[in-house]
Amino acid sequence: MANAKRPLSPHLTIYRPQMSSVSSIINRITGVALTLGFVLIIWWLLAATVGGDYFDCINDFLTGWFGGLIMIGSAWALCYHLLGGIRHLIWDMGYGFDLKTADRMGWAVIIGSFILTGAVLCSAGVFS
């Protein structure tokens, strides 16, 4: 048995990712990203209580181009996570389990997250 010439994980050669598995992975990643984004916001608020140069340093970072990218990414992660949660609530009610509906809901969450993020950022004046 130990000398057999076969792959250890044959399912990896035939597995095709499905929308529900991909969206589940993205939902977990956005959950972690939201945690990191909230840590940055807490860090900024704590720096505001300290004041002075420490706040200026953190504020310059978060209002700079890299901090702006992080905040835009956090806004997208929040929108994706919100819509993914709504999709899971629909599943919890017993709807949308057939493959066609599950795929459509997955795409709706992805596309809807970008549309919702754009709407949030426009209403916040980021693109004006």
CATH number, domain of 79, equals: 1.20.1300.10
In-domain check, residue 100: yes
Q: For the chain, how many structural domains are there in total?
A: 1
pLDDT given at position 18: 87
In-domain check, residue 104: yes
Give pLDDT tens digits along the chain (128 positions). 566 676 666 666 677 788 988 999 999 999 999 999 999 999 999 999 998 899 999 999 998 999 989 999 999 999 999 999 999 999 999 999 999 999 999 999 999 999 999 999 999 888 76
In-domain check, residue 6: no
How many residues make up the chain in this entry? 128
* DSSP codes joined into one string, 81-126: HHHHHHHHHHHHTT---SHHHHHHHHHHHHHHHHHHHHHHHHHTTT
Q: Are 114 and 80 in contact (CB under 8 A)?
A: no
In-domain check, residue 5: no
In-domain check, residue 65: yes
* DSSP codes joined into one string, 6-59: S-S-THHHH----HHHHHHHHHHHHHHHHHHHHHHHHHHHHHHHH-HHHHHHHH
In-domain check, residue 47: yes
In-domain check, residue 51: yes
Distance, CA of 81 to CA of 109 (rounded, Å): 9
Q: Which domain holds residue 48?
A: 18-123
Residue 120's CB: how many other CB atoms inside 10 A? 15
In-domain check, residue 10: no
